[in-house]
Amino acid sequence: MSDTSDAVRDICDTIIKRVDRAYVAECGRKNELPTKLWEMWVDTGLLAMGLPEEYGGAGGSLHDIVLAIDLLHREALLLPLAVPNFMSREPLLRHASEEQKRRYLPPTATGEEFFSFGITEPDSGTNTFKIKTTAVRQEDGTYVLNGSKTYQTAFVESAHCLLVARTEAHDATDRKSGISLFIVDTKLPGISTTQMDIGMYLPEKNYVVYYDNVVLQPDALVGVEGKGLNILFDSLNSERLLVAAMNVGQADYVLNRAADYAKTRAPFGTPIGTYQSIQHPMARAKTYIEAGRTMMYLAAEKYDRGEPIGLEANMVKILTSEAFKMAAEIAMTTFGGAGVDVSQDILPFYIAAQNNTVAPVNNQIVLSYIAERALGLPKSY
Ligand SMILES: Cc1cc2nc3c(=O)[nH]c(=O)nc-3n(C[C@H](O)[C@H](O)[C@H](O)COP(=O)(O)OP(=O)(O)OC[C@H]3O[C@@H](n4cnc5c(N)ncnc54)[C@H](O)[C@@H]3O)c2cc1C
């Protein structure tokens, strides 16, 4: 355990003492950002973690960011917004110009500005190669953006969106080419939004976003035109680990809540925690949680050493999302009818666990990736 990991533990202990689950749950029910928690992330420097000091960050490793998310989520102090904030830095650090880095990165450390992500479209869904949003380069070097994106988390609240759009027609022989990555100011003329009705008790709002002849300046382009998907895919492995930390943390929280309940709830006189039908699924979930957590930290350390983690990151996605789903399912069973009593605060985890098998990428396509890379099976999509 490094000194920085000890410091992260101390910071998380401080936050846990000052912000409680009841407040965060209430924000989720009201669909409002937990500003007290966000301010703690800013004030304690957690938000600055992982960003080099020259761009206003506090340095540190992916391992430490994963640790912070895991520790806070074990207390169900959720801040999903932190994930796109960390994730946006990766493609910018690796591919943006020096000018772009100096303009856009420092405010992500102070919380003054954050990024949303613009990938998913109504028709193409998981198939990013088939996106229809276009950014057409004009003679003066500007781009004109047209199209729409869906499930845009916190788009309106974010200052910028890291958006993929097609700059050339789809080429079946090279599916990744022709798509470019842009930094889009979310307040530009021609952008309109509709808030989606998402029944997830999430603090963040989600939007459908429409782009109607939105003019982007030439310096909105990140990296090389037509290579946006390569840039994006490059950054996905670290995102997998951030979401994995949310999974194992919340899985532990909901499982511990269920275990506590099972120790005292006794409709037939003996606590229901005595029954193997309750115990065994709990034990199985705990086993998956610890397997996923161990692999998650190993993968984060490997990433910090600069080694490729494609396979591990995807396996961690499967292990941790399934662990979370197992934990939430047995929690719902354990609470019986009380599982849907909103005041018990169990249902949000059940919905979130199911969602985390689908987003940010569905488990089926992740399994296909593992089948191809680990077993040499043919590509299915
Ligand atoms: C709460 C929430 C927040 C989100 N935030 C964002 C965001 O900020 N930005 C953003 O861009 N997107 C966001 N998303 C979108 C998310 O990334 C997509 O929902 C996800 O990628 C799945 O796409 P889809 O919903 O279109 O499913 P589809 O592509 O329609 O797939 C439906 C189902 O079909 C199956 N399937 C699809 N393709 C395959 C395949 N190749 N092999 C096997 N099975 C397959 C899977 O079971 C999948 O669950 C968010 C989604 C949610 C629910």
Give the CATH number of the domain where residue 215 resides.
2.40.110.10
In b/e form, how buried is each residue of 293-311, taking b as 16+ CB within 10 angstroms?
A: bebbbebbebbbeeeebee
- Return d(Cα 176, Cα 180) in angstroms, integer: 10
Cβ of 119 closer than 6 Å to ligand 1, yes or no, is yes
Question: What are the distances in angstroms from CA 250 to CA 52, 273, 349?
Answer: 29, 21, 7
CATH number for the domain harbouring residue 318: 1.20.140.10
Same domain for 337 and 236, yes or no, is yes
Cβ of 361 closer than 6 Å to ligand 1, yes or no, is yes
Same domain for 30 and 144, yes or no, is no
Cβ of 355 closer than 6 Å to ligand 1, yes or no, is yes
Tokens coding 91: 């493609």
Tokens 């953006």, residue?
Answer: 145
Given 226, 253, 284, the domain boundary residue is 226
- Return d(Cα 265, Cα 273) in angstroms, integer: 8
Same domain for 367 and 238, yes or no, is yes
Same domain for 324 and 245, yes or no, is yes
Is 45 part of any domain? yes
Q: Which domain holds residue 299?
A: 230-375
Q: Would the CA dihedral through 146, 150, 156, 159 be positive or negative?
A: negative
Cβ of 275 closer than 6 Å to ligand 1, yes or no, is no
Residue 125 CA: nearest ligand 1 atom is: 26
Same domain for 51 and 168, yes or no, is no
Backbone phi and psi for residue 2, each to the nearest 5 degrees, phi listed first: -85, 170
Spatial CB neighbours of 360, under 8 Å, sequence gap ≥ 6: 239, 243
CATH number for the domain harbouring residue 59: 1.10.540.10
Per residue of the chain (381 residues), what is the pLDDT tens digit? 567 899 999 999 999 999 999 999 999 999 999 999 999 999 999 999 999 999 999 998 999 999 999 999 999 999 878 888 888 899 999 999 999 999 999 999 999 999 999 999 999 999 999 999 999 999 999 999 999 999 999 999 999 999 999 999 887 778 888 999 999 999 999 999 999 999 999 999 999 999 999 999 999 999 999 999 989 887 889 999 999 999 999 999 999 999 999 999 999 999 999 999 999 999 999 999 999 999 999 999 999 999 999 999 999 999 999 999 999 999 999 999 999 999 999 999 999 999 999 999 999 999 999 999 999 999 988
Total domains in the fold of the chain: 3
Q: How many residues are given for the chain?
A: 381
Q: Would the CA dihedral through 57, 58, 60, 66 be positive or negative?
A: negative
Contact 115, 235 (CB under 8 A): no
